[in-house]
A and B are shown apart, each in its own frame.
Chain A
Amino acid sequence: MAEAEVLVQLSAVYKRYGETVALDGVDLTVRQGESVAVMGPSGSGKSTLLNLVAGLDRPTSGTVTVHGEELSALGEGALARYRRRRIGMVFQFFHLLDDLPVLDNVMLSARLVGTPHKQARARALGLLEELGIAARKDAYPSQLSGGERQRAGVARALMNRPALLLADEPTGALDSRTGEQVMDLLLDLNQIGQTLLIVTHDQRLAERCASRVINFEDGKVSELESV
């Protein structure tokens, strides 16, 4: 396989919370078009890793470079703009805004980058259609099932065509059937070139979707395992 462009580059990243060492010298590279699954026991630092890549948190030392931008060099405003344009995030607990109906939740990211309303609406409706929840576009999050919520979450994450999709246990709150659907969704996305970085406990998800699985233990990458 020809070496694709490097999208995410972590070098000697440490992250401490007081006494706790969440990440203990992590080096990691994710290339364009890859689908990387991060696995490991609870508390091994997977979510921390994702938060650093998303620019939601800053490393204690080391550098995180995404799309050629070193995140530690960015201020809060620039980080926010980086998040809007470059990445999409999918959470275990969906984190939709309760006050907005599904369609508005999805369109929100587009409005942030200034996409004209009509265009944003068309794209959002298209995504919802593809994800099979177009009929629920006017419902509020509290009126949706878990699977529907997660699909809305994925739609929101894809809205601005992010270079990188981050997902933290996207199937963790779903039953196995619904989880499978979300899994297929992610797989399809990867097929059409979407770079994925997925944290999961789910061996099946990792095996089916990932081109590469990284195992975490005590804040370190323990072994590389290519699929």
Chain B
Amino acid sequence: MGATWSIARAAVRRRRGQTVLIGVIVTLCTAALLIGIALLAAVTGPFDRTFAQLHGAHATVLYDSTKITDDRVGATAQADGVVAASGPFPMASAQLQNGMQMGAGPMRIAGRAEPGGGADQLRLTHGRWATATGEIVVGTHLRWGPDPGRILGRTYTLPNLGTATVVGVAYSVTQSADAWMRPDDVRRIGATSTQMLYRFAPESAATAAHLEQRLAAVTAGVPTDAVAGTGDYLTNRERAGQRAKTLSSFLTVFAVLSLIVAVLVIGNVVSGAVIAGYRSIGVLKAIGFTPGQVTAVYLLMMTGPALIGCAVGAVLGNLGTSWLLEQFQNNVYVLGLDTTPSPVLTVAVLVAVPVLVAVTALVPALRAGRTTATAALSAVASPTGRGRAVQRLLSRSRLPRAVSLGLALPVVRPARTLLTLLAVVLGSATVVFSIGLTESAGRWNDALVRADHVQVQVMNPPPGGPTEVEGEARRQPEGTRMTDPEVEAFVRGIPGARYVTTLFYGDAAVAGITENVDLNAYRGDSAQLGYEILEGRWISGAGEAAVGAEVLRLTGKSIGDSLTLTVEGRTVVVRIVGEIFGVHSEVYLDWASVSFMEPRMPVYFVGLSPGTTADRFIEQVAGGGDAGLIATTPDDDEIDMAVLLSVVGALTAALLVVAGLGVAHTAVLNTRERRRDLAIVKSVGMTPAQAAVMVVTSMAALGILGGVLGLPGGVAAQRQIIQLIGEAAGTRLPQGIVDVYTAPQLAVLLLSGVLIAVLSALLPARQAARISTAEALHTE
């Protein structure tokens, strides 16, 4: 073992460039692997996992506290089929004023002494639990934006209690309440009901029918009028599933592609390194190394740096994972992920990656062991027949000599070239795919937010409410209220308003749809609002309606048909002129169609003229009066773009580096193997610059070919996945979201691929240029 070990160690030390390269590639691959798998695991069936972890409540029952005692409620935990329960908790409903909750009504505040319990354990994501009077913990599902920690310490007014300070943010897997305080505090606010949370044996609570049975058993001995309401976990589960499906289909494709690239590059680098040391094999055998020992030397040489890389990668991967999971946690609020990276996964990767490296190294290492000494000793890197033919062909072309020699380089080692090419192809496909998908997601988001069209929205809330509002929002002081026409005139009067369109919300009954549909009636130029049309057109006046897909599906109508709405008791008949993307059971009308409607809380959408910024406009609204108007920018993270972007960005960068290193390694090996040839051509007059051009040319050719071959694959993958995401989200997609690539964009991508290949080849090219003829010929 001693001799084997010392040879391997010497090789690792002396070939520092190669060792570092392998180390870095393995580091990046390990980190990417960990992050990819952790994210995949996080978005695959997260609800069920979290539900199990946190002992989620299968059902919630609200009891009327005036009709039943807490003791009696607590006793329901003994009912047939109940495995565990939490409660009774006093429940109050109160307006906790803040910008996010504006207009959304009162919050459900539960009185819980501690976050644990038999059912629905709460996970504190920020801060601590409420232990003193006047402390409140709020639910993550209220969407506090990318940094929920910032709301800690904020104070709000609550009826009968005075102020409440936010001391924590907590996640409830079934969102059993919006906020939690000490039970006494909740009673003081005015609790009217008592909450009880139940867990059943999972198999006895799988369907709505099951749950109905279980609830019947729980409430069997309770007076019927004491039950104020019931709920179950199925709705939350469905919502979480939808969101996870969107993310996981994307991440799966991305992770799988990256993995293949990583494996290819590792395989290529490892086998390349073995081939590069081919001549030493003969020497080792001549002085008495057995085939097994030769194999061992090459295995050790590769696995040493790989182990170190793997360890570093595991650390980086875990850091990256917890950061990304935290981002997910804060944005994909319904998932409630556990943000600590899994040690099991880390260990698995720490074992799997070195094994992968060893297995990849094993094939060429075994071959090295089997090679006869005489063959290895006489092996001179000479062009194969194929290489010679290509070289002859190229030398007859009119290309400069250095370029034609360079083009012939990759042909000399077809297997290595093929592997590198494959890595470049997949790398290019992945980059094209992820850029395209990110663009699609961005356009999707734009279509929903319509940020280019509506830059500011102004609201005229009823008196009271927050003086301090969230984020970019500003509020006027409360003095004299304005009427609807006054507000519109005021907003129009502010310089920079290109258009002002007023939206009135309402609801309407539609034959064929059980629940009322949301009605959006616009006064002013609503075409400016930039709704994405799937089919047909936008409304152009009274008597027309644009609708969401759900309305068409449920009523069985199509564009051109008339639709009968019942609004505030009156019948309105409109003609459907278009289907709108991204909305469900909503109907869009011109205000003129329903002008009899009660104008409840209108929203004034403002498009700004060029040169006016939203911030400035908002300041002008806030400083322009004392009517209590609120001005804000539209909510702009409908589908968690920030997280998606950071994941894609980080993984794409890692992938590019890995692919680049793979190319660099191939160039290094090619150059090293051709050292003697290079020295010889230089001795007959090739300049160092020409030698460099030769090496760069060879890699640029690979870059172009790989890029071109990868493009269509990336485009196809993007189309497939965005369609899948559309299906998961239950909507058709407008062409604008599917077709995101433009020819110049693809050309730029291709060029950047070539650029990466060229950059990666620069270092070896410099080496080639520097090879001293005398030295290279002297060495052998």
B6 at the interface (CB under 8 A from A): yes
Listed residue (B2, B7, B15, B780) with the most chain A CB atoms within 10 angstroms of its CB = B2
Q: Is the CB of A80 within 8 A of B285?
A: yes
Contacting residue for A56 out of B13, B15, B292, B374, CB 8 A:
B374
The answer for the CA separation of A104 and B526 in the assembled complex, in Å, is 84
Q: How far is the CA of A142 from the CA of B292 in the complex (A)?
A: 28
By the criterion CB–CB under 8 Å, are A97 and B280 in contact?
A: yes
Residue B293 at the chain A interface, CB threshold 8 Å: yes
Minimal Cβ-Cβ distance residue in B for A51: B374
Binds B, one of A4-12, A23-31, A88-96, A175-183: A88-96
Sample 8 A-B pairs with CB under 8 A, ordered by A number. A56-B286, A56-B373, A56-B374, A81-B288, A96-B283, A97-B7, A111-B3, A113-B288
| Size class of the A contact interface (CB-based, 8 Å) | 20 to 34
Q: Is the CB of A97 within 8 A of B291?
A: no
A114 CA / B6 CA spacing, docked (Å): 13
Q: A57-B372, A57-B374 are in contact. Are A99 and B287 (CB under 8 A)?
A: no
Which A residues between 119 and 147 are near B, CB-CB below 8 angstroms?
140, 142
A98 interface residue, CB < 8 Å from B? yes
Q: Which residue of B lies closest to A82 (CB)?
A: B288
Q: Chain B 37-81 against A: per-residue CB contact (8 Å), 1 yes, 0 no?
A: 000000000000000000000000000000000000000000000
Determine whether A73 belongs to the interface, using a CB cutoff of 8 Å to chain B.
no
Assembled-state Cα–Cα distance A41/B306 (Å): 50
Q: Which residues of B contact A95 (CB under 8 A)?
A: 282-283, 286, 377
Q: Which residues of A contact B287 (CB under 8 A)?
A: 83-84, 89, 108-109, 112, 156
Interface string of B237-251 (1 = CB under 8 A from A): 000000000000000
Interface presence of B366 (CB below 8 A) = no
Nearest neighbor of A120 in chain B, beta-carbon distance = B2
Residue A77 is within 8 A (CB to CB) of chain B in the complex = yes
Is B570 part of the contact surface with A, judged by Cβ < 8 Å?
A: no
CA A89 – CA B780 in complex, angstroms?
A: 18
For the complex, what is the distance from the CA of A163 to the CA of B231, rounded to whole Å? Answer: 92
Q: Which of A57, A85, A98, A112 contacts B280 (CB 8 A)?
A: A98
Q: Which residues of A contact B779 (CB under 8 A)?
A: 98, 142
A56-B377 Cα distance, complex, nearest whole Å: 11
Q: Which residues of B contact A100 (CB under 8 A)?
A: 6-7, 10
Could you tell me the distance between the alpha carbons of A1 and B214 in the complex, rounded to whole angstroms? 110
Chain B residues near A76 (CB-CB < 8 A): 290-291
Known contacts A95-B282, A156-B287; A80/B293 CB under 8 A: yes
Interface residues of A in 55-103 (CB under 8 A from B): 56-57, 76-77, 80-85, 89, 91, 93, 95-100
Q: How far apart sit A99 and B16, CA to CA, in the bound complex (Å)?
A: 11
A82 to B286, CA, bound (A): 10
A186 within 8 A of B: no
Q: A152 an interface residue at 8 Å Cβ cutoff? A: no
Whole-angstrom distance between the alpha carbons of A108 and B6 in the complex?
Answer: 9
A38 at the interface (CB under 8 A from B): no
Q: Does A54 contact B (CB under 8 A)?
A: yes
Within B614-628, the residues touching A (CB, 8 Å) are: none
- Residues 578-608 of chain B: 1 if any A CB is under 8 Å from the residue's CB, otherwise 0? 0000000000000000000000000000000
Which of B3, B15, B287, B374 has most A Cβ within 10 Å? B287
A99 to B11, CA, bound (A): 6
Among A56, A80, A91, A114, residue most surrounded by chain B Cβ atoms (within 10 Å): A80
How far apart sit A113 and B289, CA to CA, in the bound complex (Å)?
Answer: 10
- Quick check: A83 and B286 within 8 Å, CB to CB? yes
From A80, which residue of chain B is reached at the shortest CB distance? B290
How does the 8 Å CB contact mask read for B728-765 relative to A, with 1 for contact and 0 for none? 00000000000000000000000000000000000000
* Chain B: CB-nearest residue to A145: B778
Interface contact A109-B291, CB-CB below 8 Å:
no
A52: shortest Cβ distance to chain B, in Å? 10
Return chain A residues, CB-CB under 8 Å to B778: 142
**Contacting residues, chain B, for A84 (C-beta < 8 A):** 287-288
A56-B374, A95-B282, A111-B3 given; 17 more Cβ-contact pairs under 8 Å: A77-B290, A77-B291, A80-B285, A80-B288, A80-B289, A81-B290, A89-B287, A91-B286, A91-B377, A97-B7, A97-B10, A104-B10, A108-B6, A109-B288, A111-B6, A112-B3, A156-B287
Provide the residues of chain A in CB contact with B286, threshold 8 Å. 54, 56, 83, 89, 91, 95
Is B14 an interface residue when CB atoms closer than 8 A count as contact? yes
Chain A positions within 8 Å of B292 at CB level: 77
